[in-house]
Structure 1
């Protein structure tokens, strides 16, 4: 397990729901504790967010032994009227392009790492 990043203070542009959705799109087999560490959230918060996303059709999960594999529903329309017509795929594609342009470790994150089903 990787160490949790330092907490962030102040406001941000992306919601916790967007961060969690992005994390499971990149790596569908992440454990809740790893999603929590990556997104700087508690495990309980991640569980609630995953339940919200699944309830509203943004993702599904398959239980495999003691772990889950998540599947993002790429055609689902974003909820806010200001994003009318944008899909989950559009959002994740924008985030992937940003990651590719601003990779911290020098190795760009390619768009094909975002696994949409």
Structure 2
């Protein structure tokens, strides 16, 4: 299936970034952006959103950043507020 600008998808960019980090917690920001087909600036903004919401934290390791996910929180939308983030990531990753 060809991806076309303006088409809709099932996952938000926030979900894609969270998934990319779950798959590889030591990815560089530019690699997260490339994996999610978004700009590096957008990826940075989303990582900040996720950190402020308590879904992840960042730790410097030399010149790299390593992300730690906090998966006990729930999804944010009222229709899914009862679902843990952990279950979403387990469904969409190999973990």
Q: Which residue of 1 aligns with 2:45?
A: 48
2:74 matched residue in structure 1: 77
Aligned-residue CA RMSD (Å): 1.4
Question: What is the number of residues matched between the two proteins?
Answer: 93
Runs of 4+ in 1 over 2 A off after TM superposition: 6-9
1:86 and 2:83 are equivalent in the alignment: yes
What does residue range 32-71 of structure 1 map to in structure 2 within 5 Å?
A: 32-71=29-68
Normalised to the residue count of structure 1, the TM-score between the two structures is: 0.75
Q: Are 1:25 and 2:22 an aligned pair?
A: yes
Q: Which residue of 2 aligns with 1:3?
A: none
Judged with a 3 Å threshold, the aligned counterparts in structure 2 of structure 1 residues 83 and 68 are, in CA distance, closer, same or farther, namely: same
Segments of 5+ residues of structure 1 without an aligned counterpart are 1-5, 97-110, 113-117
Structure 2: segments with no counterpart, 5+ residues: none
Q: TM-score, normalised by structure 2?
A: 0.92
